[in-house]
Structure 1
Amino acid sequence: MSEPIRLPPQPDACELCGRAAPLTRHHLIPKSLHGKAYIRKRYPRHERITATLWVCRPCHSHLHATFGERELALTYNSRDALLADERIRSFVDWLSAKPAGFRPKT
C-alpha cells in the first residue's frame, strides 16, 4: 500500500507577496489539466497533486488573469518561475507594501 499524499502545510503569509492575509491554495499544475496526456507524461501524480502555493486572493487572481492554465502548467509551475515574470514580480512588489486587508480594484 502506498503512502498517502500529504499537501504542504499552510504558512502564515502569502508565498508570493509575504502579507499576512487569508490564503487560498494555488495549484501550480492546474487541476483541470491533471487528466490531460501531455500533463500526465510530464508530471507524476504525486507532483500534480502536491505542487501548490498558498497565496492571498489578490495574488491568486492576478496569476489567473495573467496566464492561461496551459501556460501555468508548462512554464510557470514553480514559485521561482512565477516571480521571474516581470508582470508577477511588479505586482507582488507593489502589493507587498500594502496592509493585510488591502484588496486592489480589478
Structure 2
Amino acid sequence: MTSHENYTVFRECLSSAIVARSEKPKTKRRTKVKRNGRKEVTVASSEVVTTERANPEELAEFIDFIASETFTSFPEDLQTISYAAVQHDSNLAQTYVPPDKDTPLEPAVLESICSVTPVEVIDSLFVYGLMADRADFSEFISPVLSEFISSMTSAPPVWATTRTDACEICDRDWIPLSYHHLIPRGVHAKVLKKGWHDEWMLNSVAWLCRACHSFVHRMATNEELAREWFTVDRIMEREDVRDWAKWVSRVRWKAT
C-alpha cells in the first residue's frame, strides 16, 4: 500500500465518524387542536424528533480538510502501515496493532499521535460542534485510528472470496471466469528462495476470462510474471495488454 492509498482508507474511516456526529437530533413540539363549535380546544401534544443534517458539499470539504491535515501529521510509519510492513517489523506491529480489533491503542501511543495534530484540526472539530471540548480529541480520534489500522493490517483475503463478476482485464461479465495465479505455482519455491515476495503473497489470484488468461501466459514466462507482473495493476501498465483488452472486450459469443 502507498501512503495515498492509506490516506483514502483513513479518510473513509474519519468520514464515518464525522457524518455520525454531524447528524444532530432536532425536537419539535406538535400540538393537536380539536374544534368545538367556534372554540379551538387543545386535546394533545407530542414531541417529534427529526434529524438535522449539514450541507453535504460543505461537509465533504470539511472532511477533506480534517483528513488531510490529520493524516499528514502522522508518523511516516503510520502513514504507510500495511499487512506486509507489520510482518517484517515486530516493533511496528507491537506499537500499532492491538491483540484484537476492539482493543484501542495504548494511551502513550495515542497521546504521541494527538500531540502533533495541528491545532486547526482540533479547533475546527470543536467549532463545528463535533466535540464538546477541545480536550475530547483523543476520544474522538481513537476509534477512527483503530478502524484505519485494522483495515490496513488485515491479512489478504482467501483467494476464493476475491471472485469478481467481470474479467479483471477486459471487463467482460457475460463469460465464464477462471482464477490466474499472479505468482505462478511452478516458481513458488524459487520466489521464496530468491526473496522476491513474502509467502503470504503466493496465493494471490486474478479472475480472468479464458482468452485473457491465455494472453497473460503468452506475454511473459512464469518467472517474469512472478518478478514483474504479479498484480493486475502492473499487468495493465503494459501497452500490449491494454490494446488486447480494448480489442477482446468487443468480442462477444456468437448466437447459438
Which structure's relative contact order is higher, taking Cα pairs within 8 Å and 6+ residues apart? 1
Is 1:15 the equivalent of 2:168?
Answer: yes
Provide the TM-score with structure 1 as the length reference: 0.81
Structure 2 regions of 5+ residues with no counterpart? 1-154
* Count of aligned positions: 95
Q: Which whole-Å CA distance do the structure 2 matches of 1:80 and 1:9 have between them?
A: 15
Shift of 1:98: 2.0
Displacement of 1:93 after TM fit?
0.9
Aligned partner of residue 202 in structure 2, secondary structure: helix
Residue in 2 that maps onto 1:32: 186
4+ residue runs over 3 A deviation: none
The alpha carbon displacement at 1:42 in A equals 2.1
1:51-103 CA distance string (max 9 Å, x none): 2100000000111111111110111111111111111110011111222x37x
Partner of 1:94: 247
Letter in 1 for 2:232: R
Structure with bigger helix share is 2
Q: Deviations over 1:19-39 (max 9, x none)?
A: 011011111111101111xx1
Distance 1:60 1:43 in 2: 22
Which entry has the higher C-alpha Rg, 1 or 2?
2
Same amino acid, percent of matched pairs: 32
| Matches of 1:42 and 1:92, distance apart in 2 | 28
Q: Whole-Å Cα distance in 1 between the matches of residues 164 and 234 of structure 2?
A: 20
Instruction: Give 1 or 2: higher strand fraction.
Output: 2
**Structure 1 unmatched ranges of 5 or more:** none
